[in-house]
Amino acid sequence: MSALADLINLDLSDSTEKIIAEYIWIGGSGLDMRSKARTLPGPVKDPSELPKWNYDGSSTGQAPGSDSEVILYPQAIFKDPFRRGNNILVMCDAYTPAGEPIPANKRHAAAKIFSDPSVAAEETWYGIEQEYTLLQKDIKWPVGWPVGGFPGPQGPYYCGVGADKAFGRDIVDSHYKACLYAGINVSGTNGEVMPGQWEFQVGPTVGIAAADQVWVARYILERITELAGVVLSLDPKPIPGDWNGAGAHTNYSTKSMREDGGYEVIKKAIEKLGLRHKEHISAYGEGNERRLTGKHETADINTFVWGVANRGASIRVGRDTEQAGKGYFEDRRPASNMDPYTVTSMIAETTILWKP
């Protein structure tokens, strides 16, 4: 195995200027991630320098076999923490040969919203808290849990330390460092309330870049769990019963919210979000009704409520924001399996562009 490891870790820069670009895209379910690699003649620094590419959409549930070609448009570049050197990861979105975005391409619509002059002027900042659960591969049961049984009740696991409280920390720390290496603005990580569940945070990051970074961070995590022989789950309620679900709390601010007098802007934005509660819930992830029950630090899915320092609310405003009279708020409704392109752009659209 050492010889295989040596080959995997070969530094290509010693023998060639060529690099490997791993093109990444979102599959037909809207959640599965796909990727394939190609050789390029030399280092690349901007997506505009990269060629478009195609793939067989009939094998990803995104095109019929009789007309299966789907085109990848490179959109964002990251350093490759697996191959290292000048090799790169490339986040792409997908189009028909005629140039129309395919249904799974949520980035295209998001880009339109973020390029609107009114939205661009507000310099929207996002901080996304991605929760996830690590599962044992063969039985799809959380790591650290006894086979066919349950651990002790919740309480000691949140930010816990010790072999009987923290399960999978090697994966978590590997992911943290790999994301920083890649150029993703990961701001932290922690163990969650349910054992075997963890969270990483991306941000603050401006506009559509926040969603690009969350998707690539998910991709890197999938690759690391693949190496570790563990399954990554973004199910919002992986274990029924008295166990916390998994969300993707989305922290948000605009330039107006961050300036003096911003608290009034925040309250008006929250009022608009309340008026479109049903529309947001419908776009905030599959299976979210199993998580948003009014228990386990959630508001009921059919109720919109906001409050200061209230983790049982739909929207939480931090105590520091209230005291400063400016800052940000947290939308606690998105599920762990939400599409960050949809959620980030929808929040911007509702709070900036939408007129009640």
Query: Which tens digit of pLDDT belongs to each residue from 143-201?
Result: 999 998 999 999 999 999 999 999 999 999 999 999 999 999 999 999 999 999 999 99
Q: Cis peptide before 204, with omega less than 30 degrees from 0?
A: yes
Please give the model's pTM, rounded to 2 decimal places.
0.96
The whole-number pLDDT of residue 1 equals 58
Which of the residues in the chain have pLDDT under 50? none
> What CATH fold (topology level) applies to the domain 2-104?
Ubiquitin-like (UB roll) (3.10.20)
User: pLDDT value at position 131?
Assistant: 98
For residue 10, what pLDDT is reported? 87
Q: How many CB atoms lie within 10 A of CB 117?
A: 7
Q: Which two tokens stand for residue 321?
A: 């924001």
Residue 5's pLDDT is: 84
Listing from the earlier edge strand, what are the strands of the sheet with 19-26? Answer: 33-40, 19-26, 88-95, 69-79, 53-56
Longest dimension (CA), the chain: 64
Residue ranges of domains in the chain: 2-104, 117-353
Cβ burial 141-166 (10 Å sphere, 16+ → b, else e): bbbbbeeeeebeebeebbebeeeebb
- Inter-residue contact 335 to 198 (CB < 8 Å): no
Q: Which two tokens stand for residue 84?
A: 């290292």
Q: What single-letter amino acid sits at 224?
A: I
Fold of the domain spanning 117-353: Creatine Kinase; Chain A, domain 2 (3.30.590)
